[in-house]
Amino acid sequence: MTNWPILSLMVFIPLFGAFIISLIDGEEKNIVKNSKMVALWTSMVVFILSIFLWATFPTDPGFHFIEEVNIFSSAGISYRLGVDGISMLFVVLSAFLVPICILSSWKSIKIRVKEYMILFLILESLMIGTFSALDLLLFYIFFEALLIPMFFIIGIWGGPRKVYAAFKFFLYTLAGSVLFLLAIILMAYHSGTFDIRELLSHNFSYQLQLILWPALFISFAVKTPMWPFHTWLPDAHVEAPTAGSVILAGVLLKVGGYGFIRFSIPMLPNASDYFSEFVFVVFSAILSSPVADTS
């Protein structure tokens, strides 16, 4: 295990690479070439760090590689990063896919290449930040900020209906974000902290769990996406450029499932048990009805 801030490096190196690309100037041909090279090598450095993270990851349970800097101590808000056995794999997956996406875009992306590479590096930073955040408010910021670069990637470099698909993706996922924010405020108010480690061990009242669980469920169901919150997905997948579709399927659609595993089930176990039968019964009935009609 290392004492140096490997997770912060993995979050901020892509942002630094994006900043370097923004400074590239000169002839268009050189801008395109240099932007691609900086983006590729930046993503490769992050991937190498992710392999080191994986190779040195301790076998004992719990969070590791923890970094913490107090921002607003009175409000309990801190910059906290750390990974466990679940989130570490998502971090490695994100770092693995981004260089592949950049290489797959090498010849297919012909307009605004500089901006495209900047957005992909920003997206990488946000994905790694989402999976490594140990502060609930910080997680929310990363979680929702993922929408912004993906919105532009679909809306600028997508197919014929790219603008429609981009706005549909943005509005659907943004709608669920409001409920998630309200749930975060309630959780922090009743627990007195945003620290995910403390929230995982906090015993929320049964009544509060019944309020929080649907809010988290809808937010994560939109991101997953689960029926009937899935209608943005076909348009986004079809209209997104190839690399955007890879990231969407490979990482972004996993964020909702990660939210269920990280927050809904361990933090709200009683509500998860209470609502599970309802969710299974209702969704099974709805999904089976078209089959019954056609048979």
Cα end-to-end distance, the chain, whole Å: 58
Domain count, the chain: 1
Q: Which two tokens stand for residue 30?
A: 């050189």
pLDDT of residue 38: 95
Q: Does residue 203 belong to any structural domain of this protein?
A: yes
Helices (H), 192-241: 196-201, 206-223, 232-239
Q: Does residue 138 belong to any structural domain of this protein?
A: yes
All residue ranges of the chain with pLDDT < 50 are: none
Strands (E), the chain: 64-72, 77-83
pLDDT of residue 283: 58
Q: How far apart are CA 207 and CA 228, in angstroms?
A: 26
Instruction: Identify the domain containing residue 216 by its residue range.
Output: 6-282
pLDDT of residue 111: 87
pLDDT of residue 275: 78
pLDDT of residue 237: 76
pLDDT of residue 109: 82
Q: Does residue 292 belong to any structural domain of this protein?
A: no
DSSP annotation of 68 reads E
Q: Does residue 288 belong to any structural domain of this protein?
A: no
β-pair partners for 195: 135
Q: Does residue 39 belong to any structural domain of this protein?
A: yes
Helix (H, G, I), strand (E, B) or coil at 168: helix
pLDDT of residue 68: 86
Q: Which of 126, 120, 122 is nearest to 104 (CA)?
A: 120
Cβ(17)–Cβ(38) below 8 Å: yes
pLDDT of residue 286: 59
Q: Does residue 290 belong to any structural domain of this protein?
A: no
